[in-house]
Protein backbone atom coordinates (compact mmCIF):
# COMPACT_ATOMS: atom_id res chain seq x y z
CA UNK A 1 0.00 0.00 0.00
CA UNK A 2 0.94 3.64 -0.46
CA UNK A 3 1.46 4.80 3.12
CA UNK A 4 0.57 8.32 4.18
CA UNK A 5 1.75 10.62 6.97
CA UNK A 6 -0.71 10.87 9.84
CA UNK A 7 -0.88 14.64 9.96
CA UNK A 8 2.49 15.95 11.13
CA UNK A 9 3.12 13.17 13.65
CA UNK A 10 5.70 11.37 11.51
CA UNK A 11 3.70 8.14 11.85
CA UNK A 12 3.09 6.55 8.46
CA UNK A 13 -0.24 4.80 8.09
CA UNK A 14 -2.01 2.79 5.41
CA UNK A 15 -4.63 4.63 3.30
CA UNK A 16 -7.31 2.47 4.92
CA UNK A 17 -7.79 2.29 8.68
CA UNK A 18 -9.45 -0.81 10.12
CA UNK A 19 -12.31 0.20 12.39
CA UNK A 20 -13.11 -2.24 15.19
CA UNK A 21 -16.60 -1.05 16.15
CA UNK A 22 -18.24 -4.22 14.81
CA UNK A 23 -16.06 -6.61 16.81
CA UNK A 24 -17.86 -7.89 19.89
CA UNK A 25 -21.45 -7.70 21.07
CA UNK A 26 -22.38 -4.89 18.66
CA UNK A 27 -21.48 -6.95 15.58
CA UNK A 28 -19.44 -10.17 15.47
CA UNK A 29 -19.54 -11.79 18.94
CA UNK A 30 -17.09 -14.60 18.11
CA UNK A 31 -13.64 -13.41 19.11
CA UNK A 32 -11.74 -15.86 16.90
CA UNK A 33 -13.66 -14.66 13.82
CA UNK A 34 -12.96 -11.03 14.65
CA UNK A 35 -9.28 -11.77 15.26
CA UNK A 36 -9.11 -13.51 11.88
CA UNK A 37 -10.49 -10.40 10.19
CA UNK A 38 -7.88 -8.22 11.94
CA UNK A 39 -5.04 -10.56 10.93
CA UNK A 40 -6.24 -10.61 7.31
CA UNK A 41 -6.25 -6.79 7.27
CA UNK A 42 -2.72 -6.68 8.68
CA UNK A 43 -1.53 -9.22 6.12
CA UNK A 44 -3.07 -7.07 3.36
CA UNK A 45 -0.91 -4.12 4.42
CA UNK A 46 -3.21 -2.22 6.79
CA UNK A 47 -1.15 -0.97 9.74
CA UNK A 48 -3.71 1.37 11.30
CA UNK A 49 -6.47 0.19 13.67
CA UNK A 50 -9.10 2.36 15.35
CA UNK A 51 -11.37 1.34 18.21
CA UNK A 52 -13.02 2.98 21.25
CA UNK A 53 -13.71 2.11 24.85
CA UNK A 54 -17.49 2.23 24.33
CA UNK A 55 -17.54 -0.24 21.43
CA UNK A 56 -19.34 -3.22 22.99
CA UNK A 57 -18.35 -1.62 26.32
CA UNK A 58 -14.69 -2.55 26.15
CA UNK A 59 -15.04 -5.87 24.34
CA UNK A 60 -13.77 -4.44 21.04
CA UNK A 61 -10.57 -3.22 22.73
CA UNK A 62 -10.09 -6.66 24.29
CA UNK A 63 -10.43 -8.36 20.89
CA UNK A 64 -7.95 -5.95 19.29
CA UNK A 65 -5.53 -6.57 22.15
CA UNK A 66 -5.71 -10.33 21.60
CA UNK A 67 -5.21 -9.94 17.85
CA UNK A 68 -2.12 -7.76 18.27
CA UNK A 69 -0.18 -10.08 20.56
CA UNK A 70 3.23 -10.44 18.95
CA UNK A 71 2.40 -7.78 16.33
CA UNK A 72 1.91 -4.64 18.44
CA UNK A 73 5.02 -2.88 17.13
CA UNK A 74 3.75 -3.17 13.55
CA UNK A 75 0.53 -1.22 14.14
CA UNK A 76 -0.51 2.38 14.74
CA UNK A 77 -3.17 1.81 17.37
CA UNK A 78 -5.92 4.36 18.02
CA UNK A 79 -8.72 4.36 20.55
CA UNK A 80 -11.15 6.89 22.02
CA UNK A 81 -12.76 7.99 25.28
CA UNK A 82 -15.81 10.07 26.24
CA UNK A 83 -18.93 7.89 26.10
CA UNK A 84 -20.58 6.20 29.10
CA UNK A 85 -19.07 2.88 30.11
CA UNK A 86 -21.64 1.78 32.70
CA UNK A 87 -24.78 1.60 30.50
CA UNK A 88 -25.84 0.66 26.99
CA UNK A 89 -25.35 3.01 24.04
CA UNK A 90 -27.95 5.79 23.97
CA UNK A 91 -28.19 5.99 27.77
CA UNK A 92 -26.13 8.17 30.06
CA UNK A 93 -25.89 6.55 33.48
CA UNK A 94 -23.43 7.74 36.12
CA UNK A 95 -22.01 11.15 35.08
CA UNK A 96 -18.67 10.19 36.64
CA UNK A 97 -18.31 7.20 34.29
CA UNK A 98 -17.86 9.27 31.13
CA UNK A 99 -16.80 12.61 29.70
CA UNK A 100 -13.74 14.69 28.86
CA UNK A 101 -12.55 15.65 32.35
CA UNK A 102 -9.05 15.00 33.67
CA UNK A 103 -10.62 12.74 36.30
CA UNK A 104 -12.19 10.44 33.74
CA UNK A 105 -9.36 10.56 31.18
CA UNK A 106 -6.76 9.44 33.74
CA UNK A 107 -8.98 6.61 34.88
CA UNK A 108 -10.16 5.42 31.48
CA UNK A 109 -6.77 5.45 29.75
CA UNK A 110 -5.61 2.84 32.26
CA UNK A 111 -8.66 0.70 31.45
CA UNK A 112 -8.01 0.97 27.71
CA UNK A 113 -4.34 0.09 28.12
CA UNK A 114 -5.31 -2.98 30.13
CA UNK A 115 -7.96 -4.13 27.66
CA UNK A 116 -5.65 -3.54 24.69
CA UNK A 117 -2.79 -5.37 26.38
CA UNK A 118 -0.30 -2.63 25.59
CA UNK A 119 1.91 -0.10 27.38
CA UNK A 120 1.05 2.77 25.06
CA UNK A 121 -1.62 4.08 22.71
CA UNK A 122 -0.41 5.69 19.49
CA UNK A 123 -3.45 7.96 19.04
CA UNK A 124 -5.85 8.74 21.90
CA UNK A 125 -8.95 10.59 20.75
CA UNK A 126 -11.78 12.57 22.34
CA UNK A 127 -14.83 10.78 20.95
CA UNK A 128 -17.14 13.84 21.06
CA UNK A 129 -17.04 17.44 22.28
CA UNK A 130 -18.49 18.17 25.71
CA UNK A 131 -20.05 21.48 26.65
CA UNK A 132 -19.53 20.95 30.39
CA UNK A 133 -15.73 20.55 30.18
CA UNK A 134 -13.34 23.31 29.18
CA UNK A 135 -11.15 22.11 26.30
CA UNK A 136 -8.10 23.34 28.24
CA UNK A 137 -8.90 20.76 30.95
CA UNK A 138 -8.94 18.00 28.32
CA UNK A 139 -5.82 19.17 26.50
CA UNK A 140 -3.90 19.53 29.76
CA UNK A 141 -4.73 15.96 30.82
CA UNK A 142 -3.81 14.56 27.40
CA UNK A 143 -0.54 16.50 27.39
CA UNK A 144 0.39 14.98 30.74
CA UNK A 145 -0.41 11.47 29.45
CA UNK A 146 1.77 12.13 26.42
CA UNK A 147 4.66 13.26 28.62
CA UNK A 148 4.23 10.12 30.73
CA UNK A 149 4.59 8.02 27.59
CA UNK A 150 1.17 6.39 27.88
CA UNK A 151 0.01 7.97 24.63
CA UNK A 152 2.07 9.09 21.65
CA UNK A 153 -0.37 11.62 20.16
CA UNK A 154 -3.94 12.77 20.63
CA UNK A 155 -6.80 13.96 18.47
CA UNK A 156 -10.49 14.77 18.31
CA UNK A 157 -13.48 13.04 16.77
CA UNK A 158 -16.59 14.66 15.30
CA UNK A 159 -15.65 18.15 16.47
CA UNK A 160 -17.19 21.06 14.54
CA UNK A 161 -14.67 23.29 12.78
CA UNK A 162 -14.94 26.17 15.24
CA UNK A 163 -14.08 23.86 18.15
CA UNK A 164 -11.10 22.47 16.26
CA UNK A 165 -9.85 26.05 15.85
CA UNK A 166 -10.54 26.83 19.52
CA UNK A 167 -8.53 23.79 20.61
CA UNK A 168 -5.59 24.81 18.44
CA UNK A 169 -5.69 28.32 19.91
CA UNK A 170 -5.82 27.02 23.49
CA UNK A 171 -2.89 24.69 22.85
CA UNK A 172 -0.75 27.55 21.60
CA UNK A 173 -1.88 30.02 24.26
CA UNK A 174 -1.36 27.61 27.17
CA UNK A 175 1.74 25.82 25.82
CA UNK A 176 -0.06 22.48 25.71
CA UNK A 177 0.08 19.59 23.29
CA UNK A 178 -2.42 19.86 20.46
CA UNK A 179 -4.89 17.74 18.58
CA UNK A 180 -3.02 16.33 15.59
CA UNK A 181 -5.95 14.49 14.00
CA UNK A 182 -9.70 14.80 13.55
CA UNK A 183 -12.08 11.90 12.93
CA UNK A 184 -15.26 13.20 11.26
CA UNK A 185 -18.15 11.50 9.45
CA UNK A 186 -17.63 11.67 5.68
CA UNK A 187 -19.21 9.91 2.74
CA UNK A 188 -20.91 10.75 -0.53
CA UNK A 189 -24.16 11.06 1.42
CA UNK A 190 -22.65 13.13 4.25
CA UNK A 191 -20.43 15.84 2.74
CA UNK A 192 -20.97 18.60 5.28
CA UNK A 193 -17.33 18.65 6.41
CA UNK A 194 -16.23 19.81 2.96
CA UNK A 195 -17.58 23.27 3.76
CA UNK A 196 -15.39 24.07 6.73
CA UNK A 197 -13.91 21.16 8.69
CA UNK A 198 -11.69 19.80 5.92
CA UNK A 199 -10.26 23.25 4.98
CA UNK A 200 -9.59 23.94 8.68
CA UNK A 201 -7.88 20.56 9.10
CA UNK A 202 -5.67 21.23 6.09
CA UNK A 203 -4.80 24.70 7.44
CA UNK A 204 -3.61 23.25 10.75
CA UNK A 205 -1.96 20.18 9.25
CA UNK A 206 -4.30 17.70 10.93
CA UNK A 207 -4.56 14.11 9.84
CA UNK A 208 -8.18 13.32 8.89
CA UNK A 209 -9.57 9.83 9.55
CA UNK A 210 -13.18 9.83 8.32
CA UNK A 211 -15.64 7.36 9.78
CA UNK A 212 -18.53 5.74 7.92
CA UNK A 213 -17.34 6.15 4.30
CA UNK A 214 -20.09 3.65 3.39
CA UNK A 215 -22.66 5.80 5.22
CA UNK A 216 -23.47 3.05 7.69
CA UNK A 217 -24.23 0.57 4.92
CA UNK A 218 -26.24 2.88 2.69
CA UNK A 219 -23.50 2.77 0.04
CA UNK A 220 -23.08 -0.99 -0.15
CA UNK A 221 -25.82 -1.48 -2.75
CA UNK A 222 -28.21 -3.06 -0.23
CA UNK A 223 -30.50 -0.02 -0.07
CA UNK A 224 -32.61 0.17 -3.23
CA UNK A 225 -36.03 1.56 -4.03
CA UNK A 226 -38.85 -0.93 -3.92
CA UNK A 227 -37.03 -3.12 -1.41
CA UNK A 228 -37.41 -3.40 2.34
CA UNK A 229 -34.65 -1.71 4.33
CA UNK A 230 -32.06 -4.28 5.50
CA UNK A 231 -32.19 -5.11 9.20
CA UNK A 232 -29.03 -4.93 11.29
CA UNK A 233 -27.75 -4.40 14.82
CA UNK A 234 -26.58 -0.96 13.74
CA UNK A 235 -30.08 0.00 12.57
CA UNK A 236 -31.48 -1.09 15.94
CA UNK A 237 -28.92 1.01 17.84
CA UNK A 238 -29.24 4.08 15.61
CA UNK A 239 -32.78 4.03 14.17
CA UNK A 240 -32.73 7.68 13.10
CA UNK A 241 -30.15 6.86 10.41
CA UNK A 242 -32.35 4.15 8.85
CA UNK A 243 -36.00 5.10 9.34
CA UNK A 244 -37.33 5.43 5.78
CA UNK A 245 -40.18 7.63 6.96
CA UNK A 246 -37.63 10.35 7.66
CA UNK A 247 -37.26 12.87 4.75
CA UNK A 248 -33.46 12.85 5.04
CA UNK A 249 -33.34 9.08 4.68
CA UNK A 250 -35.65 9.26 1.67
CA UNK A 251 -33.13 11.66 0.10
CA UNK A 252 -30.41 9.13 0.87
CA UNK A 253 -32.43 6.39 -0.77
CA UNK A 254 -32.86 8.48 -3.93
CA UNK A 255 -29.14 9.28 -4.02
CA UNK A 256 -28.16 5.64 -3.39
CA UNK A 257 -30.27 4.60 -6.37
CA UNK A 258 -28.48 7.05 -8.67
CA UNK A 259 -25.06 6.13 -7.26
CA UNK A 260 -25.69 2.42 -7.83
CA UNK A 261 -26.39 3.14 -11.51
CA UNK A 262 -23.27 5.35 -11.72
CA UNK A 263 -21.09 2.61 -10.23
CA UNK A 264 -22.48 0.11 -12.72
CA UNK A 265 -21.77 2.47 -15.63
CA UNK A 266 -18.24 3.07 -14.33
CA UNK A 267 -17.60 -0.68 -14.10
CA UNK A 268 -17.01 -0.87 -10.36
CA UNK A 269 -18.82 -1.88 -7.21
CA UNK A 270 -20.70 0.72 -5.24
CA UNK A 271 -18.45 -0.07 -2.25
CA UNK A 272 -15.35 0.82 -4.26
CA UNK A 273 -16.99 3.97 -5.62
CA UNK A 274 -17.88 5.15 -2.12
CA UNK A 275 -14.52 4.46 -0.47
CA UNK A 276 -12.50 5.75 -3.44
CA UNK A 277 -14.47 9.01 -3.30
CA UNK A 278 -13.37 9.62 0.29
CA UNK A 279 -9.80 8.46 -0.39
CA UNK A 280 -9.37 10.97 -3.23
CA UNK A 281 -10.07 14.09 -1.19
CA UNK A 282 -6.65 15.75 -0.67
CA UNK A 283 -7.47 16.54 2.95
CA UNK A 284 -8.18 12.93 3.91
CA UNK A 285 -5.51 10.68 5.41
CA UNK A 286 -7.27 7.33 5.76
CA UNK A 287 -10.98 6.49 5.83
CA UNK A 288 -12.06 3.96 8.44
CA UNK A 289 -13.58 0.75 7.13
CA UNK A 290 -15.59 -1.25 9.64
CA UNK A 291 -16.23 -4.78 8.39
CA UNK A 292 -18.24 -7.26 10.44
CA UNK A 293 -17.35 -10.27 8.27
CA UNK A 294 -14.36 -11.46 6.28
CA UNK A 295 -16.41 -11.08 3.11
CA UNK A 296 -17.07 -7.43 3.86
CA UNK A 297 -13.36 -6.83 4.42
CA UNK A 298 -12.43 -8.46 1.12
CA UNK A 299 -14.95 -6.32 -0.79
CA UNK A 300 -13.44 -3.14 0.68
CA UNK A 301 -9.68 -3.74 0.44
CA UNK A 302 -9.55 -3.22 -3.33
CA UNK A 303 -10.82 0.35 -3.06
CA UNK A 304 -7.25 1.61 -2.53
CA UNK A 305 -6.48 0.79 -6.17
CA UNK A 306 -9.51 2.65 -7.60
CA UNK A 307 -9.13 6.11 -9.10
CA UNK A 308 -12.24 8.07 -9.98
CA UNK A 309 -12.04 10.23 -13.09
CA UNK A 310 -13.30 13.80 -13.30
CA UNK A 311 -16.44 12.70 -15.13
CA UNK A 312 -17.44 10.29 -12.34
CA UNK A 313 -16.65 12.87 -9.64
CA UNK A 314 -18.72 15.49 -11.49
CA UNK A 315 -21.65 13.06 -11.62
CA UNK A 316 -21.32 12.47 -7.88
CA UNK A 317 -21.45 16.25 -7.34
CA UNK A 318 -24.70 16.36 -9.30
CA UNK A 319 -26.26 13.60 -7.21
CA UNK A 320 -25.12 15.03 -3.84
CA UNK A 321 -23.77 18.60 -4.07
CA UNK A 322 -20.48 19.44 -2.31
CA UNK A 323 -20.87 20.37 1.34
CA UNK A 324 -24.33 18.77 1.68
CA UNK A 325 -25.29 16.16 4.29
CA UNK A 326 -28.61 14.65 3.27
CA UNK A 327 -29.70 13.60 6.77
CA UNK A 328 -28.84 15.43 9.98
CA UNK A 329 -28.66 12.05 11.74
CA UNK A 330 -25.45 11.30 9.80
CA UNK A 331 -23.61 14.37 11.10
CA UNK A 332 -22.54 12.46 14.23
CA UNK A 333 -22.83 15.49 16.52
CA UNK A 334 -25.53 18.08 16.96
CA UNK A 335 -24.69 21.32 18.72
CA UNK A 336 -26.54 21.78 22.03
CA UNK A 337 -27.56 25.18 20.63
CA UNK A 338 -29.80 23.24 18.24
CA UNK A 339 -30.88 20.33 20.40
CA UNK A 340 -31.64 22.21 23.66
CA UNK A 341 -34.46 24.78 23.24
CA UNK A 342 -33.49 26.34 26.58
CA UNK A 343 -30.30 27.64 24.98
CA UNK A 344 -32.20 29.43 22.20
CA UNK A 345 -34.80 31.23 24.25
CA UNK A 346 -34.18 34.39 26.25
CA UNK A 347 -35.28 34.09 29.84
CA UNK A 348 -37.32 37.09 30.97
CA UNK A 349 -37.57 36.21 34.63
Distance of CA 107 to CAs 98, 99, 110, 121, 231, Å?
10, 11, 6, 14, 37
For residue 140, the tally of other CB atoms under 10 A from its CB is 17
Distance of CA 221 to CAs 211, 261, 270, 275, Å?
18, 10, 6, 13
Residue 123 pairs in a beta bridge with 78, 153
Known catalytic membership, residue 124: no
Q: Which of 3, 55, 242, 333 is catalytic?
A: 55
**212 neighbors 185 (Cβ within 8 angstroms):** yes
Length of the chain: 349
Give the single-character DSSP code of 181.
E
b/e 301-313 (16+ beta carbons within 10 angstroms → b): bebbebebeeebe
Give the single-character DSSP code of 217.
G
Q: Counting beta carbons within 10 angstroms of the beta carbon of residue 74, is it exposed (0 to 12), middle (13 to 18) or buried (19 or more)?
A: exposed
Residue 48 pairs in a beta bridge with 76
Q: Counting beta carbons within 10 angstroms of the beta carbon of residue 258, is it exposed (0 to 12), middle (13 to 18) or buried (19 or more)?
A: middle
E strands in 158-286: 181-183, 207-208
Q: Which of 106, 188, 196, 103 is nearest to 151 (CA)?
A: 106
> Which 3 state secondary structure label does DSSP give 18?
strand
H/E element holding 252? helix 247-266
Q: Which of 37, 1, 45, 44 is nearest to 19 (CA)?
A: 37
Catalytic residue numbers read 55
Amino acid sequence: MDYRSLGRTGMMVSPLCLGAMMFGEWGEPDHDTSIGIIHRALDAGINFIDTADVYSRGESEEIVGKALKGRRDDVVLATKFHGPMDVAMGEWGDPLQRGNSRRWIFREVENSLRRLGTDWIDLYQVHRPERETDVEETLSALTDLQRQGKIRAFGSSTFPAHQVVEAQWVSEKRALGRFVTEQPPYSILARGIEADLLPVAEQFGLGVIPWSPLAGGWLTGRFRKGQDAPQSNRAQRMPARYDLSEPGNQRKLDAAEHLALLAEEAGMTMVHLAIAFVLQHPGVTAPIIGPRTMEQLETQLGAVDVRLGAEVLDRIDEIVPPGVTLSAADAGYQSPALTDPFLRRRRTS
